[in-house]
Chain A
């Protein structure tokens, strides 16, 4: 309970986590439907064709956000308050991430985000959202 939950990749999601550790935000794409899917899947949820891996530009917009002041696990208690956002990436998929940056307390829906990557050990890096992106 004192460790933060760390993602354990499946065969299907491994390229996502390999990408994140290499500083890339990858997502799955159905060429037939021309549509991104997240969480990643090897098969399109609409047409069932095999999907492809693509790399995002890592730029997005805050769709929803919250400031957490009551941590669900002891491992997150030292970090409160922390921010969780749903971020819409330019390629048409949505991820969850924590927000980082000096102006995080002023973050709001519609703000622009750059995805950054934070190593958390064991060869895993988490994509996170950096606020205050320069124009």
Chain B
């Protein structure tokens, strides 16, 4: 079913949906951006279409909705381990094709790598319906076309935002009931970006040549990369975490076990008790991340990890271009 709706009509539908769903979309956080007088756009709950930023790319991905930055995994009372309960409301996320494809990578790690499914990821993920936000043009630093993640048919609704109206392609029968008797029936299917300004050649090798691991191309990142981990935290596909226990006060045996995002660019990622660790220099961390995104993840799972959202490049304080780095690797190994 395809409909044309006014913003006001859609807001009324959102109001009804909110009784059953928590609705997340990119929101503007004024003056919270990475430079003075710039805004931060990241995911948050919305109650009206006016809350949503639909004509810019978000700085952060929607992954934090299903893989929170910090998540309590157990509450402790003496020797009792208890899982926290979660909100019973279901979830709707407004997101772009690259992020829908990125969440498939998260599903792969949390639900398919090894024999065990991640309990905490699964219970949040199962509640999610996607609303695809059509990209009318490519944004800065995007290279989704090169990564084959510019298109998707995995959505409940696809939406095109116009300044005075919305076009919707409603695929999910569960949601039909919300759209009865409103709007105008039209023919609409979403279109996808078919060209980005940035084009990337991924390395086409079954096995990365051993000389690439300590190649001089990594040297520049030794000093340019400051190991802040912004590329990891803003990436839709980075899924690493660390676990730690905390107690609420020292007089009672009450506390919790938490997991928190971890990042391969940040110090201590590989450190073990006793102090031994790997990849002390930032150049080898850049190499490790790059090969994961465009080489060894594919070797394990059959598709590249990187979806080309370009957020790593949008957010790097040192203006390191990952797309440029991939092209440098490919130039060396494909020639």
A-B interaction: no
- Chain B contacts to A: CB under 8 angstroms: none
